[in-house]
Structure 1
């Protein structure tokens, strides 16, 4: 990653206005013209721009690439970091440098600036390049809004800050003064930043705020997932599930069929995340059950569990990391950022969230009710209860999204559905645990070890299964009755 300190000043120009002669400061040097296109990135509430942090990906000109600009030691100075333009996604090192401002928020494209630039060197003694001057014709696109303006930049190269002062004096004499904002993106986002401070009670606002939180988790934890840092895989998996649930439950907010493919890709990533997480949960669960065994059997069984599930975890985590290096994963992350930045919405998205979202949530609850009746007709079929659990999780996250909209009412619903999913989740963990114990038992017998300790462990999981299913059915009745 390249790093440099730039010192520059920006000046407002009228349309078609040119800079006056600067021969009082230096000799005119070579001139060039460029067409630049820069995509700027920020959180949905523009917190980076407000904090004088700028991230862009620019093509065209002499410095194509990803740029991160940070405040410097002096008012005219900025620290600028560069990464290659070939990257399609925000460099991880950039996000790390601004995480103190982001605080977990997602970074998404917020504006495109197209600039026609005429650049000229200002030379001093010995042909030293004191500075470069630029006359820019700018067209900025922010959502559906476009604006254009002219401005000038003067950037130091080998000169000192006195050069900037002398240039400014010449410009001031010609009636050219500092721009009202210190950066192009701040000017482009001026109106959007004002609007972002206003409360948004629409369905669009509620759903996109929730989705943005989850995309932020995925971006923020991405490197930690690769490193298998504590809780990183778990948090990312939950965020992926929340995204899928939101896109399913509140699909009516979006254009017809616009999120189906994205939900499919989220399911793929959730499965990749789920494999190492499941291995973690199973290892913890089975090790917690070892104390029910006779003292002489505990160490042997615990060692078998640890060896098998630790190896399984390492294997599937490597597969997860490999999947995150594919074009498919990169496209998923780009699509998620685009979903936050520029979603395709139905007209109802502009309606009040408190009016249009609750019926969508009620439809998710009705789906749970139908699946619950189906499971109750054959209560011993645990596959049916597993389907109930998945639908209940969708309802849980649907209620969670509504908490900022409906307050205590939604919070009560969220808590009720959480109780259902936690109990039925334990049931499903017990089902999977019994299968794993069976595999461990078979291998142990093959190696000449007794089978009985594994049978005892399986019986313990069967007891936990029945207890958790009973709790789940009780919690389900309470949730459906609310």
Structure 2
């Protein structure tokens, strides 16, 4: 069984020329710290694992097998934000636990994990307590010896890790007190990073952002790298079933596919189209789980809005049974896709495409002359689909046309957002206007899908001898939502089709 905790900490080191023999200052009286309790010293022995080319270290992840101390075992640390990481712990074993290997699969792939460096630490621990004796933070002073082959390095490191629920402002107060005593925030983000740097084996630098040359190709490739990195980073979040993770991973796939199509004058579609088809497959596999999540949240929210007089039958239990049945299968499908060789091949193909991009002649031209035309081409495509939908009578055909317009809105919005670094405010304003259209059309489509689900829930309820009345009420409300969105569309579209928005890009 894996244990997960959110780790909010700050690492410090002694400023050169300042003797560590002075030790760590007494923090009593700093930001509500009323007592410092000595917890003794422990010896820690940690072996860090990575691929031979150090992919984990390059992305700021650490995987270690540690003995000694109260939390001996395997620990995987995933970056959340500067100074914040999620630490996932698994019981001690001789080999990398499968649960942790799965979380690393999008990065490790077929490369394998090997011991990279060993850290031996003598850790002195103190607890920082408030007036009631509650733990505010743990203060650790580590005497570290790093071993990598014949190379070694040693240093003293001080770490302050907050207890759960403590205001992060405490770390700022501690930092201020430490600066006066000759300590500074560590230049290295982790012990591993410092060990690798000081033994001469730092991970390779990530590709730089070459948008400074101003070409269309440089801007498009920078955008594609951001989305590829997002696709890889969201993989472990989906496996951990974190909120919104499936949605964010699907967005990365859609943005990549859209960019391939939008910027077809920059990248050769003979190369990008096959990759795009694989991205479409992955989005579809993930979509089942995401669509079910959205449906459940929508129906539950609308159910909560109804007055008690309209609530007949075991509604929440019926919804829970339906959702559990659907989500079990949809999540299995999503995880199976992530575990498949097809997914690994897709990630490899994205890496290969970015390493040797199939650039066309337009890629060498200035971004300001190429990107606006691509964005406006998708904008005109959206306009055509909206006009077509508005010309149809209400009903199934119009619903389908509005759904097609929604997909076109996503592509146009992504195109504009991708161009913002090059084109600035005009692209940003257009993206914002199109997003409003997309949101309205999205709510309309969600209403269409919700009605089908509500019909199914009503059938299930009736079959179980329950009242189907409330499901019918919700169905009628969803019809009203769809009608309202259709009435609002002309005005929202009028704002998005303002000639000034287009003129600013031309």
TM-score by length of 1: 0.62
| Paired residues for 1:184-263 under 5 Å | 199-263=212-276
Which residue of the partner structure matches residue 143 of structure 1?
none
Distance across 2 between alignment mates of 1:160 and 1:288: 58
Aligned partners of 1:207 and 1:401 also within 8 Å: yes
Which residue of the partner structure matches residue 405 of structure 1?
422
Distance 1:108 1:470, change over 3 A: same
What is the CA-CA distance between 1:240 and the residue it aligns to?
A: 1.2
| Paired residues for 1:3-402 under 5 Å | 57=52, 96=78, 199-290=212-303, 291-292=305-306, 294-295=308-309, 297=311, 300-380=314-394, 381-402=398-419
What is the CA-CA distance between 1:80 and the residue it aligns to?
A: 11
Distance 1:268 1:156, change over 3 A: closer
Aligned partners of 1:68 and 1:94 also within 8 Å: no
Aligned partners of 1:69 and 1:80 also within 8 Å: no
What is the CA-CA distance between 1:55 and the residue it aligns to?
A: 7.7
Distance across 1 between alignment mates of 2:271 and 2:149: 49
Query: Which digits, 9 at most, give the CA deviation of each residue in 1:425-449, with x for residues without a partner?
Result: 0000000000000001111111112
> After TM superposition, which residue ranges in structure 1, 4 or more long, deviate above 3 angstroms?
53-58, 66-70, 79-82, 93-101, 155-161, 181-186, 195-198, 293-296
Query: Which digits, 9 at most, give the CA deviation of each residue in 1:172-202, with x for residues without a partner?
Result: xxxxxxxxx996999x98xx98x85772311
Aligned partners of 1:67 and 1:80 also within 8 Å: no
Distance across 1 between alignment mates of 2:82 and 2:247: 23
Query: CA RMSD for the aligned pairs?
Result: 3.6
Distance across 2 between alignment mates of 1:470 and 1:269: 35
Q: Classify the secondary structure of the residue corresponding to 1:259.
A: helix
What is the CA-CA distance between 1:292 and the residue it aligns to?
A: 2.1
Aligned partners of 2:266 and 2:359 also within 8 Å: yes
Structure 1 stretches lacking a partner, 5+ long:
1-52, 59-65, 71-78, 83-92, 110-154, 162-180
Distance 1:197 1:382, change over 3 A: closer
Distance across 1 between alignment mates of 2:323 and 2:283: 20
What is the CA-CA distance between 1:416 and the residue it aligns to?
A: 0.5
Aligned partners of 2:310 and 2:470 also within 8 Å: no
Distance across 2 between alignment mates of 1:208 and 1:159: 38
Distance 1:424 1:156, change over 3 A: closer
Which residue of the partner structure matches residue 461 of structure 1?
478
Which residue of the partner structure matches residue 26 of structure 1?
none
What is the CA-CA distance between 1:301 and the residue it aligns to?
A: 2.0
What is the CA-CA distance between 1:342 and the residue it aligns to?
A: 2.2
**Alignment partner for residue 437 of structure 1, among 445, 454, 477?**
454
TM-score by length of 2: 0.59
Distance across 1 between alignment mates of 2:63 and 2:492: 55
Structure 2 stretches lacking a partner, 5+ long:
1-47, 66-74, 86-105, 109-146, 154-197, 502-506
